[in-house]
A and B are shown apart, each in its own frame.
Chain A
């Protein structure tokens, strides 16, 4: 049988993959994609907990799914703003590599 722990471990592995992407990659677009992976890993564990907590009416706890809805909305807004920033940056510097953007480096 598939347990709650299986879903949580899969979600943790997906989060770690996204985290490694943010740490390792230098291309800003791929860093944004890795951020999306991390947000979706959190969504997966939220939905797993929602299904695990069956209420008195015999249905899953929908509060967590409402929260997932909010997370997806915020993530979509974040991607739009992030990519607009990327385009503005590319227009100013002609690069999307984080190694070339060091103006604020101490």
Chain B
């Protein structure tokens, strides 16, 4: 992938990620999140992880975002009215996030392999669904089944939580 495409998709993802936080209207936040996830899927593809990129588009930009938009529509949430901003709390929140970012960047700066570029691949990764499936069903079979139980429990939990209580 040419470097300018990396910077294009990375900046797209970051700008719309910031728009999620900055927008007052939840619908605009949700739509910014879709664009941010599409940029992230493009970055996954640039790392030769086609399966993960496709899953990202299907699960996040498809299923999860529909869920978010449906809930926003169902609850009829309006844009937040402009309140008096608590400047101390806002500065504190931004400050903690910036300190976290600076710390991570210092750690990455001391991490020697981070300065190397990616080694070339011997083969193309167009069959990575097969490779991931092999790993998933052979080496990680038990975690895979546990994840299945987790999703089942989540489904039952959602049904029970959203059931109207009998009067």
Q: Which residues of A contact B (CB under 8 A)?
A: 1-10, 12-21, 23-27, 29-30, 32-34, 36-37, 40, 43-44, 47-48, 50-52, 54, 57-60, 62-63, 65-66, 68-70, 72-81, 83-88, 90-91, 96-97
- Inter-chain contact A30/B48, CB cutoff 8 Å: no
The smallest beta-carbon distance between B131 and chain A, in angstroms, is 5
Q: A27-B26, A65-B132, A83-B67 are in contact. Are A4 and B113 (CB under 8 A)?
A: yes
- Inter-chain contact B128/A65, CB cutoff 8 Å: yes
Bound CA span A14–B125, Å: 26
Contacts of B63 in A (CB 8 A): 76
Q: A14-B17, A72-B59, A96-B75 are in contact. Are A77 and B117 (CB under 8 A)?
A: no
- Inter-chain contact B75/A73, CB cutoff 8 Å: no
- Interface centre among B14, B17, B80, by most chain A C-beta atoms within 10 angstroms, is B17
The smallest beta-carbon distance between A63 and chain B, in angstroms, is 7
- Inter-chain contact B128/A52, CB cutoff 8 Å: no
- Inter-chain contact B104/A12, CB cutoff 8 Å: yes
The smallest beta-carbon distance between A6 and chain B, in angstroms, is 7
- Inter-chain contact B93/A23, CB cutoff 8 Å: yes
Contacts of A21 in B (CB 8 A): 20-21
User: B104-147 CB contact bits vs A (8 Å, 1 = yes)?
Assistant: 11001101011111111111010010011001100110010001
Contacts of B113 in A (CB 8 A): 4, 52
Bound CA span A70–B75, Å: 30
Contacts of B55 in A (CB 8 A): 69, 72
- Inter-chain contact A70/B143, CB cutoff 8 Å: yes
Contacts of B147 in A (CB 8 A): 70, 73-74
The smallest beta-carbon distance between B31 and chain A, in angstroms, is 11
The smallest beta-carbon distance between B25 and chain A, in angstroms, is 10
Query: What are 12 pairs between A and B in contact, CB < 8 Å?
Result: A12-B101, A15-B100, A23-B97, A26-B80, A29-B72, A52-B116, A66-B132, A68-B52, A84-B157, A87-B74, A90-B75, A96-B75
Q: A15-B104, A59-B123 are in contact. Are A2 and B3 (CB under 8 A)?
A: yes
Beyond known contacts A7-B47, A16-B100: 14 more, CB 8 A cutoff: A1-B3, A3-B114, A17-B20, A18-B21, A25-B21, A51-B48, A52-B118, A54-B119, A58-B123, A60-B49, A60-B128, A65-B132, A68-B52, A87-B162
- Inter-chain contact B104/A69, CB cutoff 8 Å: no
